Structure 1
Amino acid sequence: MKLPRAFRSPKPLAIASLLALSGCGQILDPAGPIGAGERTILLDSLAIMLCIIVPVIVLTLGFAWWYREGNARATYRPDFVYSGRIELVVWAIPLLTIMFLGGIAWIGSHDLDPPKPIEAKAATMDVQVVSLDWKWLFIYPGQGVASVNHLVVPAGVPVRFHITSASVMNAFFVPRLGSMIYAMNGMETKLNLMADRPGRFLGLSSHFSGDGFPGMRFDVDAVPQARFGRWVRQAKGAGPVLDRAGYDALARQSSDEPQRTYAAVQPGLFDAIVAQRIPPAAGPTTGQGGPGVSPRPQGSI
C-alpha cells in the first residue's frame, strides 16, 4: 500500500512544522488579554515544575559525586530500608506541585474560558468564521460584509467569534491573541478575543486537514476604529455578493486563495451552514485533492 503523496514528500510536513514552531514563538509575545493570560499560566507552570526538576538534577549529580568509590567519608549502609523523613519529603514536594499546577489550571480554565465575554469599554463585535478546504471565510453580520483569508478587527474591541466548519474538522488559531479552538461541521463553537493594540498578526489552521493545509493561513489586521470603518465602506463598495451560488463556488477545494472581500452577504448564510441546510463540502477523500490542488494517479494509497 502506497502512502499519500503528502506523506511521501517532505515539503508539506516541513511547512507544517515551521508553522507550528512560528506559532510557539508568538505565544510568548501576546497582543491581547487572552494571550497574555495564557502566557502567564505557561510561565507560572514552568517555574513550578522547575522547582522539582532543578533540585532533582542537582541532587542526582551531588549523590553521584558524594558516593563515589574514592570518597572514604561517605557512609556505607547496605541494610538501609526506610526513613519516614525522606518519604515525607519525597512525596510532599510532588503533591504540593500538583496542587499548585491544579490550582493554576482551575483558575485559568474559568478566567480564560473561550465563550466567556471579555470585559472592555467598547461593545463586543461578532464575526462568523467558516473553515473551508483550504481557506477561511469571515462574515461580519453587523456590517454586512465578508472576507476570505483576511480578518480585520478594531483594536481595543472585544470580538466574539462564531466558528464552524463546512468540511472536515479544523482548528482556528491566532497565536498572539490566544485560545486555539476547533471548528467542526454541524457545530458552532464560540471564542472571545481582543487585540489590545494595532498590528498585523498571523492566523492559521493548527489541525491537519488535507493537501492544502500548509497554505491555510490568514492575516489578522487589528486597526483603529476609524480605519476599520473605512475598510467596511471599501468592502461594501467593491466585490460580489456572497449568496448561495457564490458560497458553493467558494466551497470548492482550492489552496492558497488570495484575499478578497464581499460587498454583501445573504442573510442567514452562517446559520444555514451550521444547521447543514447547505450540504457539507466533500472534504478530502482518500487523499485525492481536486485537479487544481494535488493531482495524483488513482490507486496511490
Structure 2
Amino acid sequence: MTYQPTIRSPRRTAPPQTPWALFVQQTLLPWSRLVRVANLFTVFGDPLAGFLLAALLLGSGINPWRLIAVAISSVFLYAFGTIQNDWCDLTEDSRHRPERPLPSKQITPAAAALGALVCAAVALFFALLLGRWPFFVALFILALVTAYNVRLKKTLGPGSLCMGLCRGANVLLGAACVGFPFGLFPLVIAETIYITTVTWLADGENRVQIPHANVYYLPLSFAIGALVSLPFLPGDSYSTDSWLSFVCLVMALIVTFGLAAALHNRTTRPERMRAAIGLSIRALIPWQAGWIALYGTEGAQSLAIIVLTGLVFSSVLGRRISIS
C-alpha cells in the first residue's frame, strides 16, 4: 500500500499592522473612549453661546481668536473631568465596566492622571490668555468637576446639581470674555436645570426604570429660558434675519419634548435609556447654535452652522464610543 503525502496549505497569518493602525488601536481609540470624544461636540457651543449672547446684549464686537481660545479651554476642561472621573472610579469600573480603558489596562492610571493634569493646564492657560475673569471661571469649573468626581457623584441630588452647575458655568466661561449682562442668566439657569435633569435620569441608566413627570423639565427648561430671555434682547433680534436662530431653538424644543413624551410613564430598559441620554445631550447642540446665530452677523450664522455639524460627528462617534 502506498501512501499519498498530505499536502498542507501554508498557515495563514495576519499581515503585520502598520504603525498608524497600531497607533489608532493602542492609543487613539483608548484615549477617545476615556475623554468621551462624542460628547466633546456638545461642549464648546456653550461658551460660544455665552460669549455671543453677552456681546449682543452689551453691544460689543467679536474677536474670532478669543472665540477659538474659549472653545479650546472649554473642551480641555471637559476632557479633564472625564479622565478624572474614570480615574476616581477605577475600582468600581474594574467590577462593573472592565472594558473601560483604565480597568482593561489600555491606559495606565499614571498616564491618565498625567493626561488630566495636562488638560487642566491647557484649559487654564487659554483661559488666562483671555483675561482674569475667564481664568476665575475656569478655576471654578475645575473645582466643581473635582467635587463631583471625588465626592458628590455618590449622592443623586447634590451630584446632579453640581453637574448642572458645571454646564451653566461653561456658558459663563464664554460670557466672562465680554461681561455678565443680566439677560444672560436665563440661558445659564436653563442649561443648569437641563443638565441637572439629564444627570438625574442617567443615574438609573443601568436598570429598568419608569421616568416620571420630571422628564418634562428637559423641554420646559429650554422653553422657559428662551421666553424669559426675550425682554432683554435688542429689537433687531426679532427680524427675519434671525430665522436660523429660531429654527435651531425650535429644533431643540421639538427633540426634547418628543424625548420626554416617549419616556414619560413608560417602562424603559437600560439600552433605551442610554440612547435617550445620548439624544438629550446632543439636543444641546441646536440649542447652543440658536443662541450663537442670534448675534445676527454672517460670521455668527456660519459659526452656528459649524456647531450644528457636531450633531453628525457626535451621532456617528457615539455609536462606536460610549458617551458615559
TM range (shorter): under 0.3
Larger helix proportion of the pair: 2
TM-score, scaled to structure 1: 0.24
Q: Which has the higher contact order (CA 8 A, sep 6+)?
A: 2
Larger strand proportion of the pair: 1
* Larger Rg computed on CA atoms: 1
TM-score, scaled to structure 2: 0.22
